[in-house]
Amino acid sequence: MKTLYYAPGACSLAPHIVLAWIGAPYNVKRVTLGSSDILAVNPAGAVPTLEDDGFVLTQAGAILHYLARKHPEAGLGGESTLKGEADIGRWSSFLTGDLHPSFYPVFMPDRYTIQTDSAALKATQEAGLGLVRKRLRILNDHMAGKDWILDRRSVIDAYSFPMIRWAITTLPEKLHDFPNLQALHDRVVADETVKFVLAVESDATG
């Protein structure tokens, strides 16, 4: 049986949602980043980490692609054509390489400046927020007239969801300038399965 190692608030929320959407049995284990529990299965001490019958997989994008291909019956992998596979790869790469890293200076400004004063750290965070807005604009414009990032609901929507939540909590204006992303957020969060996952992750004993 699959076991997902996760931490509340992290991008591990995405495979947690996908596992619930798939509907096959799975376990989840809540861990603290860098703790002995997660280091025992992932030397990077990071989440998400997925164990599947002795196979250990790290990196959110890789885990989501694996789950989509292992469970084609769930219909979460996009179109099974060359262009469809390229499209899911494009948006997975965008989220992994562009949007997700834009939040690093926001969450960890001390890693992106040699200055230690509060003004310098604040300026670093503001620069990060500028990158976040730039990346969100690309995704928001793509979503014009669409319900989902691909042609139907997929692992990519789940992957974007924690990042959209980060934007809501870090941008002073929230998603006011990105109505298509607000609509996507609302569509995902209204799903009963997603509500269940969020409840599990908010439970201190989950």
Q: Give 66-88 pLDDT, tens digit per residue.
A: 999 999 999 999 898 999 999 99
Place of tokens 């976040």: 132
pTM above 0.85, yes or no: yes
Q: What amino acid is encoded at 146 in this protein?
A: K
**Mean pLDDT score, 164-191:** 98
What is the pLDDT at residue 204?
57
Task: Count CB atoms within 10 A of the CB of residue 142.
Answer: 14
CATH 1.20.1050.10, applies to 82-191: yes
* 25 has pLDDT over 70: yes
- Work out whether strand 2-6 and strand 26-30 pair parallel, antiparallel, or are unpaired: parallel
What is the pLDDT at residue 205?
53
Q: What number does CATH give the domain 2-75+193-202?
A: 3.40.30.10
Task: Count CB atoms within 10 A of the CB of residue 186.
Answer: 10
Contact between 164 and 184 under an 8 Å Cβ cutoff? The reply is: yes
Cα–Cα distance between 197 and 21 in angstroms, integer? 10
Q: Give 11-20 pLDDT, tens digit per residue.
A: 999 999 999 9
**Mean pLDDT score, 149-165:** 97
pLDDT band at 203 (very low <50, low <70, confident <90, very high): confident
Write down the domain spans for the chain: 2-75+193-202, 82-191
Contact between 1 and 49 under an 8 Å Cβ cutoff? The reply is: no
Q: Give 106-156 pLDDT, tens digit per residue.
A: 999 999 999 999 999 999 999 999 999 999 999 999 999 999 999 999 999
Place of tokens 């789950």: 67
What is the pLDDT at residue 76?
98
**Mean pLDDT score, 94-108:** 98
